[in-house]
Amino acid sequence: METVSTNIASVTQEQIYKEFLRLGMEQLIAQDLSKRYYHNELTYRDLENLEKQFDIKFDNLIFKIDSVEKNLQKDISNLDVKIDTVEKNLNARQE
């Protein structure tokens, strides 16, 4: 019986940690998860829960960005009206 040797690139816990950080995780969470993942303690269910949490946070972030954008558009519109009013007043004084 022949033994099959596979050349699997070894991944270190530090590499996993850095990848989690690159994906935007907080350091403490990334450290815990990289340790658990490296030691095969991170389950598929854990990964599903993380995905759901990140999706929720991402959705909340999109909502907040949209709200800020709408507020900025209103503020810009109000400033345009004020500028037009000041311009009309200046033109009226010059006449």
Rounded to the nearest 5°, which phi and psi values hold at 31?
A: -65, -45
- Do both 62 and 91 map to the same domain? yes
CA-atom Rg of the chain in angstroms:
27
Between 47 and 82, the higher pLDDT residue: 82
Query: Can you tell me the distance from the alpha carbon of 94 to that of 89, in angstroms, rounded to the nearest whole number?
Result: 9
| Structural domains counted in the chain | 2
- Do both 95 and 59 map to the same domain? yes
pLDDT at 10: 67
Residue 30 has pLDDT above 70, yes or no: yes
Query: Can you tell me the distance from the alpha carbon of 94 to that of 88, in angstroms, rounded to the nearest whole number?
Result: 10
pTM for the full predicted model: 0.42
Domain that holds residue 72: 55-95
Task: Mean pLDDT check: name the lowest of 25-29, 41-45, 74-78, 83-87.
Answer: 41-45
Residue 41 has pLDDT above 70, yes or no: no
Rounded to the nearest 5°, which phi and psi values hold at 84?
A: -60, -40
Q: Would 47 be classed as within a structural domain?
A: no
SS3 (DSSP) at 69: helix
